[in-house]
Structure 1
């Protein structure tokens, strides 16, 4: 044990050899400071004792498979990340994808070249780039954990990249920005079809999605206490999650991001619609034959007859049913109303920062694409309107 006085009468430094590094086998010196020589020495001895207690058996590390490492990391991640169940489910799915290739491979044998070939293979098999990127991100966190826990000396996949798939003409044509939102005439056609052919609550839910820009999970989690009928505002503070899409097995969690907590000012027509819906809901509850003790009093805006909320998955078949009643050919899910709302705000002359704030800081790339596309279209339309309105004057130059 080596000790020396740092500040006379105030600070001491103690240093001693601790257990060798479990992977590299190199010498490790442990140092601690204390107000007295004895205190500094005791801190060093305590630190060395703790390291010995949790000493990693090098022979065990050599036989640790990726599958074992991933399982250990996932438990650690679930306890420390604070992420919602939906995110944990996605991470677990990404682990299962990686396990298809390297589940039984010892982590000390995984090389950058082998891992890069896995990424290349996933691209060749036609997996979506987002899927591959997600799996790659998860793999990165797993191996960083391995380094942190001294299982590995360094991250073996550092430097690996997700290959970029070469775009084909078909890819370009199928990735038109117009496919991500409803044009004005399409939205009108869809809402009219909803009013004529929609089932219970279809019109209210899709109408609100289009004019609020909220996510379907935020819509399903909406409570009457979130609506201020005096100020025409809706406060969004939560989303709903149900792993098995079971109305009784749901969980209310904070929305996607901190920026998603927001207050939206709504138009009078939307507020009037919600007031009518609330009156009908109260009447229905009074006439309901359901035992009051069985009624789930969750205060949900869009509740079933028994009071339980709908989950986002319930909106998809309802939407597909209505789309069949229209001439719209776009392959759409309820999320298209979020993008449609962005296009509506853009066409109404709202600036991009305000749009981002209203929709809760959605994906900047998609929002900017829609904003730019609609803005360009508006400029083109403006030129055509000038041509139509002032065509006679413009033609003076050719006289």
Structure 2
């Protein structure tokens, strides 16, 4: 500790002491504490009191008041990205959520955001936070989850003493009668006749690869990113099995700028597949091998990675392309549902249920750890099957039932 005697403008004398405190918890930079007193002992005691407090709880209100929320969020994200074990897609979602948080709190000191201010923020999101339109409840929950982690990080690093997200309430909008009446789980997947119509149209009017990837999606229950990530070595034609170990992401829709990551559950699953589907994929792999031998030396940047669904230069397709192809076919058929390539997973769950597969078997096949989505479709389909079985029994015994009402 260093102390000096100084003279103020008023002519009075004071002692000033300065000493090093623990480094700043967020930046790691050196911190020095300076205090004044009428005597050297008084100034020294003041410095020691602050340093002792910082050593115990490390909270420096004066220093924290200068740190903006955006700076803390940026630091948290850099840590989260390398320690949370999440995929790039999840990090991208957090980046988008931070943009929304920064819009409201970016320039605000981290210490100035109170529970009341943060609760008002969530309410504002539910009213007109999305460019004049309300955010969906699910979106607000995601934003709140992100904010909770950022403030928890700030508290852990002694930048704040309380987390303003603790005990907040997520605004809920009650559903209208019309919404309840129009809500149907059947809008999330193809019914049997709808699927057959879609696939028949893909066969008759589809473009290159349409039949291959849409039949594969429907009869395997794979995620779209898992299908376009398939490589030649993932296909076991001898046993009619597919190994699902990865998914493909592409943020910029640039075929060369793709990432291969583990599956959503970070597990490998091997599924049995219909022989007809495997025969189609085997033919496609043969065509790819023939094309590679012919064009590999002619195309300067041929991407020799053996993707099953590959472009002329060997690069894989992006999920958005799959969506555009699906929209093209949907325009040709009379199905009013808003379905996407992901809807084939829900369709496959329905197909497996109707075929008599048990819930755990279906979950294992499609790679679901959380039973909610699978169970919702499974229960709906089994209830329909029960209703149909009653009708079938009644139809079979229709003659005797007629006598009942005579």
TM-score by length of 2: 0.82
| TM alignment of 1:263-282, pairs within 5 A | 263-282=270-289
| TM alignment of 1:246-325, pairs within 5 A | 246-259=254-267, 261-288=268-295, 291=298, 293-325=300-332
Please tell me whether residue 353 in structure 1 is matched to residue 360 in structure 2: yes
Aligned residues: 355
Partner SS state of residue 175, structure 2 = coil
Moved over 3 A (4+): 18-23, 55-58, 283-290
Tell me if structure 2 keeps the 8 A contact 1:213–1:342.
yes
| TM alignment of 1:216-227, pairs within 5 A | 216-227=224-235
- CA distance in 2 between counterparts of 1:188 and 1:63 reads 63
Question: Which residue is equivalent to 1:364?
Answer: 371
TM-score by length of 1: 0.84
Question: Which residue is equivalent to 1:141?
Answer: 149
Question: Which residue is equivalent to 2:88?
Answer: 85
- CA distance in 1 between counterparts of 2:182 and 2:258 reads 36
| Unaligned 5+ runs, structure 1 | 1-17, 24-47
Tell me if structure 1 keeps the 8 A contact 2:65–2:109.
yes
- What is the Cα deviation at residue 60 of structure 1? 2.2
Deviations 1:220-270 (A, max 9, x none): 1100101111111101010111110111111111111134x2111101111
Tell me if structure 2 keeps the 8 A contact 1:346–1:374.
yes
Please tell me whether residue 102 in structure 1 is matched to residue 100 in structure 2: no
- What is the Cα deviation at residue 161 of structure 1? 2.3
Question: Which residue is equivalent to 2:30?
Answer: none
Please tell me whether residue 327 in structure 1 is matched to residue 330 in structure 2: no
- What is the Cα deviation at residue 289 of structure 1? 7.9
| TM alignment of 1:339-350, pairs within 5 A | 339-350=346-357
Deviations 1:35-74 (A, max 9, x none): xxxxxxxxxxxxx9xx97xx77542211222112111111
- What is the Cα deviation at residue 175 of structure 1? 3.0
| Unaligned 5+ runs, structure 2 | 1-19, 26-50, 129-133
- What is the Cα deviation at residue 20 of structure 1? 8.8
Q: Structure 1 residues 104, 170: CA separation in 2 closer, same or farther (over 3 Å shift)?
A: farther
Tell me if structure 2 keeps the 8 A contact 1:22–1:150.
no
- CA distance in 1 between counterparts of 2:286 and 2:75 reads 52
| TM alignment of 1:116-155, pairs within 5 A | 116-125=119-128, 126-155=134-163
Question: Which residue is equivalent to 2:178?
Answer: 170
